[in-house]
Amino acid sequence: MTMMKLDTKHAFLKEDIASYQEKVNVLHEQLMNKTGKGNDFVGWVEWPNAYDKEEFARMKEVAASMREKCDVFVVCGIGGSYLGARAAVEMVNGLYSKDKVEMVFLGNTFSSTYIKQVLDYIADKEVCVNVISKSGTTTETALAFRLLKQFMEEKYGKEEARNRIVATTDKEKGTLKTIADKEGYETFVIPNDIGGRFSVITPVGLFPIAVAGIDIDALMSGVKKAYDDLSSPDLSKNDAYAYAVCRRILENQGKNVEMLVTYEMQMTMVAEWWKQLLGESEGKEEKGNLPTSANFSTDLHSLGQFVQEGKKVLYETLLLINKPALDMTFPHDEENLDGMNYLSGKSLDWVNKMACQGTLEAHEETGGVPNLILTLEDMSAESFGYMCYFFFRACAMTCYLLDINPFNQPGVEVYKKNMFRLLGK
Ligand code: PA5
């Protein structure tokens, strides 16, 4: 049974998904045979079978020893070197986890206020650090890591700091690799042929996720299940490819904005991760849909008005969760002063699902907004792994359908060039 399903009944598709089958067959072959655009970066495709099992076991061991040592685990990275881990930790553990290790994220901003506040916050805690950078030169990460390294060496001394810092970077080259070798840090490898936004299923994501107490064996078993379920290009069986095709059909219908909608607060960072995956992969050559996101019902009280009655530029992709992680029954109140007794005895998840259904009807029927629905079984580690791989395959296919290389990000360099000039680098 597949763990993530697509429903297109509410999407107002004006083309038949099956009419893309021939094209999809060709592009699928290109992806699998490494003959498509950006074929140097398709290591993630076979990763569910090919990942380094020894390194995987070492990650679990080091993660266990870090969990013994620290109250706070600082993940220092940005973009693909941070979003996946944070998305997993929040989705699986929730936003107010009682896990003994608190995850803190740094290296993802130049905000002086944020950086200083984090350093102050961790000052009197037991700290371990994972610095993650494939290039090893990303400025946000390098800046924060210099501060963190000094902080750790002052707090623990050079020797103990070395035992508490792990670097995840290129196997052979880069500034971070040089620092890690010189200082003798434990290191994990970012594979050459896997780009940042596809790297959550490598040590980039897996190591911090393991430190957060999440079962990475289960996560990788979800990845493998998705690999198996999505092995055929048949659009009647492969929902990732069908979703990729739907995005193109909706774009052909003039919808250039895709809003990923979740109904779980702890899925917010998953949406951020998804935005990077789609935005950085597809937004090239003046093509692509703008990926945006909302958390309902919270954002129905802000963006809901636009979705219902604003300019008809968008479609929604609902990312729904079948089984909530937690639930409770709404209590009865004899006085009923708040008039809420109509919900007595109902589960809170049922209320959330009714809000979703009512909103879908409103946006679809009155608002005329197409809705794609993706339903994920639950918010477990296994489902997280499944979902990531599902979106990887969908992302590659949807970009190939646009004749775009999904795996580079040339546009990101422009701001860096200007910034370096201004910084006097
Ligand atoms: O997806 C990508 O490739 C980017 O978002 C990178 O992950 C991000 O820029 C960080 O790069 P690095 O890991 O080299 O520090």
Per-residue pLDDT tens over the stretch 71-129: 999 999 999 999 999 999 999 999 999 999 999 999 999 999 999 999 999 999 999 99
- Is the whole-model pTM more than 0.95? yes
| Contact predicate 298/265, CB 8 Å | yes
| Sign of the torsion formed by the C-alpha atoms of 99, 102, 105 and 111 | positive
Cβ of 177 below 6 Å from ligand 1: no
Long-range contacts of 401-404 (CB under 8 A, 24+ apart): 401/20, 401/23, 401/24, 401/27, 401/244, 401/245, 401/248, 402/248, 402/282, 402/287, 402/288, 403/37, 404/37, 404/281, 404/282, 404/284, 404/285, 404/287, 404/288
Residues across the chain: 425
Nearest to 170 by CA among 140, 208, 196, 209: 196
How crowded is the C-beta side of 359, counted as CA atoms within 13 Å?
A: 25
Give catalytic status of residue 177 as yes or no: no
List, in order, residues 6 or more apart from 218 with CB less than 8 Å away: 380, 381, 382, 385
The single residue listed with the structure tokens 């090893």 is: 136
| 363 flagged as catalytic | no
Is 135 touching ligand 1 by the criterion CB < 6 Å? yes
- The catalytically annotated residue of 53, 98, 182, 301 is 301
208 lines ligand 1 (CB under 6 A): no
pLDDT for 242-294, tens place per residue? 999 999 999 999 999 999 999 999 999 999 999 999 999 999 999 999 999 99
Q: Given the residues 280, 316, 377, 382, select the one marked as catalytic.
A: 280
Nearest CA to ligand 1 atom 2: 196
Burial of residue 114 (number of CB atoms within 10 Å: 0-12, 13-18, 19+): middle
- Is a pLDDT exceeding 90 seen at residue 412? no
Q: Which is the closest atom of ligand 1 to the Cα of 77?
A: 15
Q: In degrees rounded to 5, what are phi and psi of residue 398?
A: -65, -35
- Strand pairing partners for 320? 375
* Whether residue 216 has pLDDT greater than 80: yes
Q: Is the distance from the beta carbon of residue 197 to the nearest atom of ligand 1 less than 6 Å?
A: yes
* Cβ–Cβ < 8 Å for 368, 313: no
Q: Residue of the nearest CA to atom 5 in ligand 1?
A: 79
Q: What are the tens digits of pLDDT across the range 42-87?
A: 999 999 999 999 999 999 999 999 999 999 999 999 999 999 999 9
Ligand 1 atom closest to Cα of 78?
A: 10
Distance 291 CA to ligand 1 centre (A): 18
What's the chain's average pLDDT?
Answer: 97
Ligand 1 pocket, 168 CB below 6 A? no
CA dist 346 and 349 (Å) reads: 8
Distance CA 150, CA 90 (A): 29
Distance CA 126, CA 80 (A): 27
Torsion 84-415-170-101 (CA) sign? negative
Q: Is 100 annotated in the active site?
A: no
Q: Half-sphere exposure (CA, 13 Å, Cβ side) for 379?
A: 25
- In whole angstroms, give the CA distance from residue 90 to residue 98: 12
Nearest atom in ligand 1 to the alpha carbon of residue 141 is 15
Ligand 1 site, residue 138, Cβ cutoff 6 A: yes
